[in-house]
Amino acid sequence: MLRNGHFLVAVIGLVLGQAHAVEFQLPAQPGDALVGEYFADEQIPRAFIKTKAQQEDTLLDVARRFDAGQTEILLLNPDVDRWLPGQGTEVKILNRRLLPKAPRQGVVINLPEYRLYYYRRHDASIVTHPISVGRLDWNTPLGKTRIVAKTENPTWTPPASIKKEHAERGDMLPNVVPAGPDNPLGLFAMRLGIPGYLIHSTNKPYGVGMSVTHGCIRMYPEDIERLFPDIPVGTDVYLVNQPIKLGWHQGRLFIEVHPLLDNQPWPYLERLNSALDLLAEANEGVLPVVNGARLKAILNRANGVPEMIYQRPVTEQPPSSPAL
């Protein structure tokens, strides 16, 4: 559904039960950052859409169908059973997102959001997919790098540290894991300029959207299969850690809050101070007057939903002088 040529190019679609990419046009106003699907005559994309689970579904099956990660769908549906939602159970799917604060080019990966954004030059659109990132003891690094190589049907040479970890569990890894269905890298891998780190497919798709890797970035097999031919070698990659994002949409300021990676402790006062700093930064250095109770509720929910927190006052223009 394309609204005024501004945001949505293609939304989630299902073919043989597989999720399609979610693609958006860059916001029409350069300073705006909210993207999402519009329905009817909405001025703002609604927070979420709803679907219903089938009898055989887990919540993770629903997440994969709608190209969502595990953490994302669990936060949005805290009262739905992860393993047995049940026939006809209503499930919420996130429908709007704030773009991370980063250059709008190449690949941007926001770790606590468990999400990748790819800015395509040829049509000024954005493709976004869920990802997995490194566990607390195997942090995915931050900063700017680039795609330095791409490989189809990769083999995997486990580093000594990973072989040792597996051996301690009684799982002896070979020196080289051949390409194929048992390869943890899946069928596609893109090597980063940071030695030892990849964006790759996975043979364990239900871990997508969590901190479960040894630092690499995993994607659903169907997502990286579509993205792989589209990203050229040399593409810039920005790895950021933004649990709180803010962004404008047509004079309205939205805030989006995620838990810290691995659910690390995050005292409320720390969250509040971070949010207030970002609110002032987003409003040209002036802290806007916001509803304190609403801000507190959003910070405590930390469910990844962009919510409006402030609206610029409408300045009335003086009437035009009558012609003489």
Catalytic-role residue among 129, 214, 216, 249: 216
- 258 catalytic per annotation: no
User: Quick check: is 216 catalytic?
Assistant: yes
Output the CA torsion 300→254→256→116 (10° steps): 180
Provide the 10 A C-beta neighbour count for residue 125.
Answer: 18
What is the phi/psi pair of residue 249, to 5°? -150, 105
Q: Are 117 and 128 in contact (CB under 8 A)?
A: yes
Q: Which of 129, 200, 214, 258 is catalytic?
A: 200
| 3-class SS shares of the chain: helix, strand, coil, % to 5 | 20, 30, 50
What is the distance between the alpha carbons of residues 87 and 135, in angstroms, rounded to a whole number? 33
Bridge-based pairing of strands 14-15 and 34-36 is unpaired
End-to-end Cα separation, the chain, in angstroms: 48
Measured from the Cβ of residue 131, the count of other Cβ atoms closer than 10 Å reads 27
Active site residue ranges:
200, 216
